[in-house]
Amino acid sequence: MGLSGGPLVRPSDLDAWRARRLLCRLGRDLRERGWRADPRTFEFPPMLRVRAPELASVGETVTAVRHVDGWWFRTSGGRNIAHATDTASAAGTIDALLRPWLDAIERQR
């Protein structure tokens, strides 16, 4: 269970295709914000590896999961961050999760 309040739905082959498509859309929004977004679409489940361009150790892995109330983007920690129809919100949340790490590293330089 996550922010959506509903259980996961058993995945199908069509779900893997849809997850890849949603993650690619999210990747475009993240690239516009200055992040590297590398889809790993041939893995199961498909995922999107998000990293800071200048510091690859700062990043997050995102998946798209289907719940009974629709698709959600989920962090590697299992947190549902945004409905998959709202890639801008998901990108903003990921940016907000990772930005403090970059800021802390910059302060130490």
Q: What is the pLDDT of residue 2?
A: 44
For the entire predicted model, the pTM comes to 0.84
Q: What is the pLDDT of residue 21?
A: 95
**Domain region containing 52:** 13-104
In a domain, 4, yes or no: no
In a domain, 79, yes or no: yes
- Residue 27 CA to residue 25 CA, distance in Å, equals 5
In a domain, 49, yes or no: yes
In a domain, 50, yes or no: yes
- Residue 50 CA to residue 70 CA, distance in Å, equals 23
Angle at alpha carbon of residue 43, lines to 10 and 9, rounded to 5°: 10
**How many domains would you assign to the chain?**
1
- Residue 2 CA to residue 86 CA, distance in Å, equals 16
Note the pLDDT tens digit of each residue in 42-65. 777 899 999 998 888 899 999 999
